[in-house]
Structure 1
Amino acid sequence: MSNYTRMSPPASPTSSSFSNGDPAQGKQETRLTATAKRQKYLRRLLKFKQMDFEYAIWQMIYLFVSPQKVYRNFQYRKYTKDQWARDDPAFLVLLSFWLVVSSIGFSFTLGIHFSGFLKLILWVVFVDCIGVGVVIATFFWFLSNKYMIQAPPRGQDVEWGYAFDVHLNAFFPLLLILHLFQLAFLGLINGESYFGLLFGNTLWLVALTYYIYITFLGYSALPYLKNTRNLLFPCIAIILVYVLSLIFNWNFSKGLCYFYKFRVM
């Protein structure tokens, strides 16, 4: 029992409210249309007191320690609230906070002026994270609903909001590796030594592979999808590009720095 207590996430006020009543009644009350769910989520974006940041922090930690546990809690949300996607924007808010922190570090390291720093924040939050995430989530939402639903269909589909959550889950480790951890070694990585190239490109290999792996876990957690292992195939292409980069001296981190400086000029 004590081991279970240590491994369990902190209780969420929004989810634990069902324990005082009938779970079936709670599911009935929270069964909303996709539009209603989206509107509810957006309304809570500025209501910080209603966000469960403790639970969001627990999820961020376990995306590194044991990402399977994070998706098991998504299954619990499906049981209690009849939806897979998050209804609490706390994770997105914390993710944006870390993007701002890392942008400060990049601006200081690359000598970007204050107005350029503000532009960089807007780019990394609203384009690199959210904008690209919308595109990726839409792609996997269409792919999974079109080709991965088990036949015969059982009246279940992949929620777009869940596909976006899977992107956010996979993006967080990538952010910490390439925006925070890598930042401390930019001097070495952007230097002329081959070891710096090897170290920097290896960080990219780890970050991108982990993104794909957490994405795979997200869709394999849905019991009505098939062939989810196919989502791991891009790892082969990433390894191939990684090997070619070491042969032809392609420094991904140096390219990222040039790109960041170019977009804020």
Structure 2
Amino acid sequence: MLPTSTLPPGAASSSKRNRSGRYSPLWLYFRRLFKPTQMDFQYTMWTMLQLCISPKTAYKHASYHKQTKNHWARDDPAFVVLTAALVAVTATAYCLAFGSGIGRSLLTVVSAVAVDFLALGCGVATLGWGVANRLLRRKNQHSHAVEQGVEWMYAFDVHCNAFLPAFLLMAVLQLVLCPVLLMNTFVASLLSAGLYALGLSYYCYLTFLGYSALPFLERTELFLYPTGAAAVLVPLAVLAGLNPTKLALWYWFGYQ
């Protein structure tokens, strides 16, 4: 559809459109955010399932997206919407189990979505985006080749993809296992530390898969290095008698 306003000769086109005349991915993303009927929730739920059972399959579709849409990032915010809803529901369940007061519980739910998922996610995505573009891009051997870079929105997609399984392990499964994890025993500390180590390791692995799916990046195994730290910290935490579940509940709810 043509724009309703008339531009003077030689004027720049609207920033909502790219040079080919199509709407930019960022504009489409936020436009669909307020139009739920344009979100593909069925495909998004399939993607979420694949991230948990076969993450390589999920990232194969990122290359298909590049071939059809000419960009790597998703232009459908359904994944963020469903993940935010899951975070809100889980935070509400924690508040019902450990919280005190409606006002504080509401603040906890809002903080879990806005800070822990979105704000922190934007920070982690920006860090990964910067590392990938500055340190991991392949140098073009041909002077006339077009140099490619990681899209920030794709970096945010990678974070969201990695966040979901880690959240299911370290928040949802933890809530189910709380009666066991909160016991004052060595086994409880071991299980809690192992659960957090597994969640963080899986986050790093999915982050690695996300960036390694880009053909113009190299040395993406850099994103796997934090898993080594987790392997070292788990035994130390257990020997020190630390229980990550108790620490998390103390931080959020003052649980003793």
- The TM-score by the shorter chain falls in which range? 0.7 to 0.9
Q: Match of 1:20? A: none
Residue 204 (1) aligns with residue 192 (2): no
Q: How do 1:57-206 residues align onto structure 2 when only pairs under 5 Å count?
A: 57-152=45-140, 154-206=146-198
Partner residue, 2:8 = none
Change (3 A) 1:205 1:197: same
Q: Give the TM-score, by structure 2 length.
A: 0.87
Distance 1:154 1:111 in 2: 54
Asked if 1:53 is matched to 2:64, the reply is no
Amino acid at match of 1:129: F
Aligned residue for 1:225? 217
- CA gap 1:29/1:58 in 2 versus in 1, 3 angstroms: farther
The question of whether the paired residues in 1 share the 8 Å contact of 2:99 and 2:105 is answered with no
Give the distance between the partners of 2:38 and 2:27, measured in 1 at CA: 15
Identity of aligned residues (%): 35
Runs of at least 4 residues off by over 4 Å: 27-30
1:249 maps to 2:237: no
Comparing 213-222 and 249-258, the one that deviates more: 249-258
User: Larger deviation: 187-196 or 155-164?
Assistant: 187-196
Assess if the C-alpha contact under 8 Å between 2:88 and 2:110 holds in 1: no
Distance 2:69 2:20 in 1: 8
How many residue pairs match? The answer is 232
Paired AA for residue 196 in structure 1: A
The amino acid of 1:198's aligned partner reads L
Flag the 1:148–1:154 CA change in 2: closer, same or farther, 3 A: farther
2:231 to 210, 235, 239: 239
Residue in 2 aligned with 1:4? none
Report the secondary structure of 1:105's partner residue: helix
Residues 44-80 of structure 1, C-alpha deviations (whole Å, 9 max, x = no match):
1121111000011001100011101111111111110
Using the size of structure 1 for normalisation, the TM-score is 0.84
Higher Cα radius of gyration:
2
SS at match of 2:138: coil
Distance across 2 between alignment mates of 1:139 and 1:97: 25
Alpha-carbon RMSD across the aligned residues, in angstroms, is 1.5
Alignment match, 1:18: none
Alignment gaps of 5+ in structure 1? 1-26
1:28 Cα deviation (Å)?
4.8
Give the Cα separation in 1 of the matches to 2:32 and 2:56: 27
Deviations 1:115-144 (A, max 9, x none): 122111111111111111111111111111
Q: Distance in 2 between matches of 1:168 and 1:78?
A: 18
Q: Show the counterpart of 2:250.
A: 258
Q: Distance in 2 between matches of 1:177 and 1:119?
A: 23
Note if 1:213 corresponds to 2:197: no
